[in-house]
Structure 1
Amino acid sequence: MKHLLLFFLLLPGLAFAQVADNFTDGNFTTNPVWSGDVASFLVTAQQLQSNGPAVTGTQLALSTPCQAVTGTVWEFWANLRLATSSGNLADVWLMASQSDLKATNNSGYFVRLGGTDDEVSLFRKDSTRTAVLVIDGLNGTLSSSTNNLVRVRVTRTTANRWTLERDLAGTRTFVAEAAQPIDATYQRSVAMGVALTYSSTNGRNFYFDDFAVTDATAPLLVRAVPFDARQVDVAFNEGVATPSATLVSNYRLQSGAAPVSVTPSATNPAVVRLAFAADFPAQSVVEVRNVADLYGNVAAGPLTAAFTALPVAPAVGDLLISEIFADETPPVSPTSPQSEYVEIYNRSATKTLSLRGVRLGKGSTATVAVFADTAKLLPGQYAVVCGSTRVPQFVGYGKVYGPTNFPSLSNGGDQLILRGRDGRTLFEVTYSDSWYRDARKKDGGWSLEMIDANNYCGGAENWIASTDASGGTPGRANSVRATNADATAPTLLRAVAIDALTIRAYFSEKLDSVTAATIGRYVLTPTATITRAAPVGPDFRQVDLTLSAALLPSRPATLTVQTATDCAGNASGALQSATFALPEAGVAGDVVFNELLFNPRVSAVRFVELINRSNKFIDLQRWQLGNLKPDGSVDVDLLSTGPLVLAPNQIMAFSTSTAILTSQYPTSSDATNLVQLSSLPTFPDASTALLFDSRGIEIDRFMYSKDLHLSLLSTQEGVSLERIRTNGPTLGSNFHSAAGAVGYATPGRPNSQAQDAAGGNQDWTVTPEVFTPDDDGQADFATLNYHLDATGYAASVTVYDALGRLTRRLTRNETLPTTGFIQWDGIDDRGHKAAVGYYILLVELFRPSGGEKREYKKTVVLGARF
């Protein structure tokens, strides 16, 4: 047997390689080094012999480092010169997780010689558990009481198939056990060796020789497991050697990408980690070439392993809400969904998105629906999200999630927000039922679908009602999908001083939050230092600017934005500006009703317009519009929950739909002065409109009725009442029907019937001297303006034609303020338009306290346009 050569192959950078020891050197302490109970073993006649104490139940162990695992052959010679039993046996460990073979939590594989059945068998040890038979050898194989000679060979293929062979003559005429099981439980080893158990008379009766561990097979690539978006762990079936295993050129993806670094595992020699410069696509294949195992066997390759990229947390623009089904009744067809839902979409072509901790909620409530840790979306995949009890209704549509606290979707409109686990806003949409663009579909049963997913920041222009016959496309591509790119740059709408040190800039669309935070994009005049620019989520249409010095109340300043970039990348031109000032509290009469439309056309909306006639900047936040009801109660609605500042002489019109308002009055409205409210008081044909400040104090009231309208109108529908004199009283006499030439209303624009010029300095003047009551917005009525020298006068004003015939009694003994005007719209006492010609306005002025009487005559011409 001593023809065997002792070899110990050392590879660069490795401490141990293949193992062989036939003890011809007379020791077991070098080449290789055995450790453990070294005092209880010796080498006798070039064989390893036990030399333990004569104590029953003694356990001895001796091990040597060995990392061989698969594609390996283990061979040894043994002679147990004793009768084997459960208390007299030898375990030859082929693979052990610890060098201390007696450790109770050791794991691996060993060959048992002897035992109760006097056999040669292969066992697997799973930590502290009882050993498990892998190959049950033939009973009675080792039946001698004095000479149990055997040579054992165990083979483990790279496919983890085990073969156990024996030769009871100690030569190499092996007989294999019939069983050849597959067992891949353990893929790592640190040691091999022998462990003995014996009674008191057998301490010197165990002999071993010719240990040989041979690995002649090249390493195999077992798997590739992504560690993160750019790193992947490559695992071999056995330990691999430096430097070949860490050479960057030995690895690549089939896509052509090469790693930037290769790092061996500190705990497992069979694993290396590859790092790449870019994120992995959804599916990848790694190729390996010219990697050697610990024993010099080289795998020329290519070896390949496919892997799927790990789900990653969604970034902005990855995860979208692509469909909204807010109104399920009436159903379009029997197959239509019967519950609210939203559809989410993974816009990425390469990333699998982890939805772990992603939150779906509304801007109006803190309650959110949270996706489960296991939720994910593949690249380009859709999923339906609905209430937790409604999931069965949607399983036929594909992937569906039913998180707890799914938000109730308002039919008229709502703000929906997707936030990441870290709280970042991933997607926001504030939809409205006007987005359907179809009055029939708006009534229910149809979903709103996003047109172009690449224009995910878009609002109303990128959404429309579904065109699918079932009313929607849950879980699949939208029926309305089309290219609809955003090519419009953002504009600065206005700036508002939130407080003395904070300015809020409002923009027309969502901004890129990174560039919007650049302080250098903003300039304040008069000069003031801006110390911080903070985009306001979740929609990023506002930016809060922090100042180093406090603003003074109602001192106008100008904010200039050098450039603004929307989230689609469109950049505005330079130097957009807006004037603002720190607002002050308004008092009664500062802000007044300027225009009122209480009788809108069919399918149109009412509106109320206010004007600030003070020299103060006034914040309308939490101010209320009200309507006095017949029972004395007041129906009120908030003008704004956030800052909304009216500058001196600025007008602002409020309605429930700015889109409808601008479509009804396309040439006479100004969108920059229109504000959309969720609700507005229902103003009947005759009532009192009220305006309250944030403390509930009345600021103005307007007692109106349809009788204030020009009687010549063919219809009053869609015709507003406009204030004539800004500084005049909020009385019916100071309002007139809007001109037909401008479409019968001017929401957000100066009034068509405004007449703030009071005329000359005489006591009584007529403006204009020639008027044409044809409702064209040009000199539609005449005003008799007056300035009195004292209070307490009462007046009667009568209109006569050129022949002295009574035409119209304008006032009768009406008490007058010291300044004001009286209006004549060209209508006679019968409600007919007076004839073209000259007219005399007879003013009879009487002062009861002093008995003073005065009389004035003024001439006016009622004309006509030809």
Structure 2
Amino acid sequence: MKQLLLLLFLLPLLASAQLRDDFTDGNFTANPTWTGDASSFQVAAQQLQSNGPAVTGTAIQLSTPSQASTGTVWEFWANLKLATSSGNLADVWLMASQADLKNPNNSGYFVRLGGTDDEVSLFRKDSTRAAVLVVDGLNGTLASLTNNLVRVRVTRSTANRWTLERDLSGGRTFVAEAAQPIDATYQRSVALGVSLLYSLANNRSFYFDDFAVTDATAPLLLRAVPVDSRQVNVAFNETLDPASATILANYRLQNGAVPTTAQVLSNNPAVVRLTFAADFTTTNVLEVRNMADLFGNVAAGPLTAAFAGPPVAPQVGDLLITEIFADETPQIGLPLSEYIEIYNRSATRVISLGGVRLGKGGTTTVAVLPDTARLLPGQYAIVCGSTRVLQFAGYGKVYGPTNFPSLSNGGDQLVLRGRDGRTLFEVTYSDSWYRDARKKDGGWSLEMIDTNNYCAGANNWIASSDPIGGTPARANSARAANPDARAPTLLRALALNATTVRAYFSEKLDSTTAATLSRYGLSPATTITRAAPVAPDFRQVDLTLAAPLTASRPLTLAVQTATDCVGNASGPLQSATFALPEAAVSGDVVINELLFNPRVGAVRFVELLNRSPKYLNLQGWQFLRGRVNGKATATQLTSGPLVMAPGQVLAFTTDVASIQAQYPTSHDPANLVEVASLPSFADVDTVFLLNGSGMELDRLAYSKKLHLSLLSTQEGVSLERIRTSGASLGSNFHSAAGAVGYATPGRPNSQAQDELGGNQELTVTPEIFTPDDDGQQDFTTLNFHLDQPGYVATVTVYDALGRLTRRLVRNETLPTTGFVQWDGIDDRGRKAAVGYYILLVELFRPSSGEKREYKKTVVLGARF
């Protein structure tokens, strides 16, 4: 029998308890009623005692209804008359989501007595996951082999702060654990109880008594969330007394409105849905009075909660994609599933996500968010595949629409559109945005840095720095101020067809102001009838003309002002020249420079020259390596429009940044074009240029032997065309000059020599040359202008003493005009000595037997 003194001591506490059981009635079947493995328990000497099967590994449980949650104190007495271990322990559940405590889906909080560390600790259970330690008790507090007596008190404040206390004498002189963490994961409970695990000798060694659950705090109003224009969900910190929760007079808006209905939600009795007769205003404040919980605690009030007006459709700049998890492996900590994070940037508006569509550029398949979906001001949500929702449920709000797009690891274009099809947000990401080679390989998300700079691209994104690899449904780890202070610039203009001109800008424009006709003008004067920003990224504007353009007739587009999507406006007038392109024929565009053997770690490039008077569109053109036999693989220059002006050069490479780094002073960034791939050119090969229909426009058969033999290395040295109008033959190419860094991508060739010597039959240009690879007279050319075709030539170089130095040409058929170059190298591959040399030219016409012989003098000099 329990001591009377102890009973009298506890009476003041137990009198206010919402649940208590000291088993003085001799049973656990009433007042309150415990259920579960009833046959495995008994009441002996007014204490609850285990009495299960004597089988090692047996787990038994007993529970009783309890809805107490926050602002609650739990107490119980226990004695484990055994040596605790991982196979002999007791879990006393304070809050459980199910009456069956052994159900693996159960969630809530429990106190563990014993275990491997022989301690008293507080745990949280998240459904099927392993229990999470909330308060780690002092090890060895339950170290007896036969008598582990303890009284435990757990307090959860209304602010969700937990305190764990114990008295190892079974009395009430409690000692608190130092840790008092905040954990608000679970706000509802259906049961309290005990769950035991034991070995065969300990089936009757667990004793419990004096269970008491006390909630002496009034309910708190947490928030008010609008459902639609006239309904609002009012959330409290605990389950409410339905009688007080449904009294209409207990609620009012500060504007005086009283609800017409008040309904406690069946799936969450801590939430009341109020319906009002009129629509909510933009900002609202709800007052609540005389609200009671299940235990009779009344909040006189007024309790207040502010909430925004009804959910509204998002506008441009409201709804953003702020995180992208495209490469989920290797696993760092996040689930092995792709996701994006969306964010309501508005500070006041609740966004309705109903009908919002997520898609990829170039595809028609979209994922549509449900009509019930919404985001509060400043709230985040995860969007993932419909079968992956449970993986992210523990992180926050999550939506799993069907047709969630597969995210490419290397990069993709993602677009959010409203129900009406308007573009709300667009981002074209790349794995280069990680700025971290290790994180680029997978397991880490990309995060937006500054949500106020949402139009920006690579400079406003970076790899997450969160230890788990990302921050789904919460503020980004990379979050920082990163404002856009730059105004947009006009990059170029392009005639898409005879009546449409597309203007390209450096960043996303404000689509409304970009449609203002008065911002654009053409010279010579041409009427513009419409300006249409191009979705989804709004970096281009299509201008419709009143009259068709004439092919290859240049015009200048002037833009008075361009405003980007965050409001930065350009200053002075900007302009770009363009013309309607026409079709190219063979020889219009030629290979002008080729780097086939780049330095280690660098990349190749092929430069083209438009030597025609036409404007030419390169869309769909291709480079081909080797013979055109249908088996070779072509690489495309561009899938979109790309126009070359007359005389323009463009250098194509797989990495523009690498070319700029390799040739920092000899490139022109405006004429560098990055392509997905280029052929892997060999040391001896042929480059073909094809148009979009596969017609050959030019070809160059080259060899590393074309390079100046005096070079210490050929790596990183390009071959440059000498004569613009000359044939695409090896004899018309020479190594780029060392003085310019051995290549001129996007710039005029260092070895260009277009002076033909007039109409004289034979001329030498220059007459004095210095083959030192400085780009100044590095070679000399024997230029010929013959009176008729059919000549066969032999050209030989002799020194001033008449000794053979170099055989340049042997019995080669010549065109009527052209040249032969000498780079100052003799037949043994060595640089010839400084001095005078004779070029002996022998011409023969087989058809008539006519022979001619000429001698031209040239000086091989040197710079001192």
TM range, normalised to the smaller chain?
0.5 to 0.7
- My pick for the range that moved more, 514-523 or 306-315, is 306-315
- Tell me the secondary structure at the aligned position of residue 512 of structure 2: helix
Q: Deviations over 1:722-764 (max 9, x none)?
A: 2222211111111222223323222222222222222343222
Cα distance in 2 for partners of 1:829, 1:342 equals 67
Q: Deviations over 1:676-701 (max 9, x none)?
A: 22333333333222222222222112
Could you say if the C-alpha distance between residues 480 and 237 of structure 1 is closer, same or farther in structure 2, counting changes exceeding 3 Å? closer
The Cα shift of 1:226 comes to: 5.5
Q: Contact 2:226/2:307 (CA < 8 Å) preserved in 1? A: yes
- My pick for the range that moved more, 493-502 or 374-383, is 374-383
2:374 alignment counterpart: 376
Greater Rg over alpha carbons, structure: 1
Could you say if the C-alpha distance between residues 571 and 779 of structure 1 is closer, same or farther in structure 2, counting changes exceeding 3 Å? farther
Q: Contact 2:229/2:279 (CA < 8 Å) preserved in 1? A: no
1:318 alignment counterpart: 318
Structure 2 portions without partners, runs of 5+? 1-222, 235-245, 259-274, 289-300
1:460 alignment counterpart: 458
- My pick for the range that moved more, 724-733 or 703-712, is 703-712
- Tell me the secondary structure at the aligned position of residue 513 of structure 1: coil
1:772 alignment counterpart: 770
1:118 alignment counterpart: none
Cα distance in 2 for partners of 1:777, 1:229 equals 76
Cα distance in 1 for partners of 2:441, 2:758 equals 57
Q: Contact 1:251/1:286 (CA < 8 Å) preserved in 2? A: no
The Cα shift of 1:609 comes to: 1.8
Supply the AA of the counterpart residue of 1:823.
Q
Q: Contact 1:231/1:273 (CA < 8 Å) preserved in 2? A: no
- Tell me the secondary structure at the aligned position of residue 731 of structure 2: helix
2:576 alignment counterpart: 578
- Tell me the secondary structure at the aligned position of residue 853 of structure 2: strand
1:664 alignment counterpart: 662
Q: Deviations over 1:822-849 (max 9, x none)?
A: 1222222222333333333222222222
Instruction: Indicate which of 721, 745, 751 corresponds to 2:749.
Output: 751
2:548 alignment counterpart: 550
- Relative to the length of structure 1, the TM-score reads 0.64
Cα distance in 2 for partners of 1:451, 1:329 equals 23
Q: Contact 2:589/2:612 (CA < 8 Å) preserved in 1? A: yes
Structure 1 portions without partners, runs of 5+? 1-222, 240-244, 254-269, 289-300
Instruction: Indicate which of 342, 345, 352 corresponds to 1:344.
Output: 342
2:718 alignment counterpart: 720
Instruction: Indicate which of 782, 791, 794 corresponds to 1:793.
Output: 791
Could you say if the C-alpha distance between residues 786 and 427 of structure 1 is closer, same or farther in structure 2, counting changes exceeding 3 Å? same
Q: Deviations over 1:493-518 (max 9, x none)?
A: 21111111111111121111111111
The Cα shift of 1:440 comes to: 4.3
Could you say if the C-alpha distance between residues 459 and 684 of structure 1 is closer, same or farther in structure 2, counting changes exceeding 3 Å? farther
Instruction: Indicate which of 834, 850, 855 corresponds to 1:857.
Output: 855
1:188 alignment counterpart: none
1:113 alignment counterpart: none
1:38 alignment counterpart: none
Question: After superposition, where does 1:174-573 map in structure 2 within 5 Å?
Answer: 273=278, 279-280=282-283, 284-285=284-285, 306-331=306-331, 333=332, 335-573=333-571
- Tell me the secondary structure at the aligned position of residue 537 of structure 1: coil
1:89 alignment counterpart: none
Could you say if the C-alpha distance between residues 550 and 310 of structure 1 is closer, same or farther in structure 2, counting changes exceeding 3 Å? same
Instruction: Give aligned-pair identity as a percent.
Output: 74
The Cα shift of 1:614 comes to: 0.9
Cα distance in 2 for partners of 1:364, 1:728 equals 43
**Alignment length, in residue pairs?**
605
2:59 alignment counterpart: none
Instruction: Indicate which of 839, 843, 848 corresponds to 2:841.
Output: 843
The Cα shift of 1:536 comes to: 0.7
Cα distance in 1 for partners of 2:751, 2:335 equals 53
The Cα shift of 1:585 comes to: 1.0
Cα distance in 1 for partners of 2:627, 2:379 equals 54
- Tell me the secondary structure at the aligned position of residue 791 of structure 1: coil
Supply the AA of the counterpart residue of 1:359.
R
2:624 alignment counterpart: 626
Supply the AA of the counterpart residue of 2:714.
Q
Q: Contact 2:707/2:714 (CA < 8 Å) preserved in 1? A: yes
- Tell me the secondary structure at the aligned position of residue 634 of structure 1: coil
Could you say if the C-alpha distance between residues 658 and 686 of structure 1 is closer, same or farther in structure 2, counting changes exceeding 3 Å? same
Cα distance in 1 for partners of 2:473, 2:254 equals 44
Question: C-alpha root-mean-square deviation of aligned residues, in Å?
Answer: 3.5
Q: Contact 2:230/2:277 (CA < 8 Å) preserved in 1? A: no
1:804 alignment counterpart: 802
Q: Contact 1:330/1:444 (CA < 8 Å) preserved in 2? A: yes
- Tell me the secondary structure at the aligned position of residue 807 of structure 1: strand
Q: Deviations over 1:408-436 (max 9, x none)?
A: 22333222222222211122122233333
Could you say if the C-alpha distance between residues 376 and 526 of structure 1 is closer, same or farther in structure 2, counting changes exceeding 3 Å? same
Cα distance in 2 for partners of 1:516, 1:230 equals 38
- Relative to the length of structure 2, the TM-score reads 0.64
Q: Deviations over 1:615-636 (max 9, x none)?
A: 1111122222222369762211
The Cα shift of 1:818 comes to: 0.9
- Tell me the secondary structure at the aligned position of residue 633 of structure 2: strand
Cα distance in 2 for partners of 1:775, 1:230 equals 82
Cα distance in 2 for partners of 1:708, 1:230 equals 82
Supply the AA of the counterpart residue of 1:675.
V
Could you say if the C-alpha distance between residues 607 and 451 of structure 1 is closer, same or farther in structure 2, counting changes exceeding 3 Å? farther
Q: Contact 2:486/2:568 (CA < 8 Å) preserved in 1? A: yes
Cα distance in 2 for partners of 1:352, 1:742 equals 60
- Tell me the secondary structure at the aligned position of residue 712 of structure 2: coil
Supply the AA of the counterpart residue of 2:385.
G
2:825 alignment counterpart: 827
Cα distance in 2 for partners of 1:781, 1:527 equals 48
Could you say if the C-alpha distance between residues 401 and 271 of structure 1 is closer, same or farther in structure 2, counting changes exceeding 3 Å? closer
Could you say if the C-alpha distance between residues 776 and 481 of structure 1 is closer, same or farther in structure 2, counting changes exceeding 3 Å? farther
2:198 alignment counterpart: none
Q: Deviations over 1:320-348 (max 9, x none)?
A: 222333333444x4x35434333333333
Could you say if the C-alpha distance between residues 250 and 694 of structure 1 is closer, same or farther in structure 2, counting changes exceeding 3 Å? closer
- Tell me the secondary structure at the aligned position of residue 582 of structure 2: coil
The Cα shift of 1:864 comes to: 3.2
1:125 alignment counterpart: none
Cα distance in 2 for partners of 1:674, 1:755 equals 23
The Cα shift of 1:613 comes to: 1.0
Cα distance in 1 for partners of 2:858, 2:443 equals 61
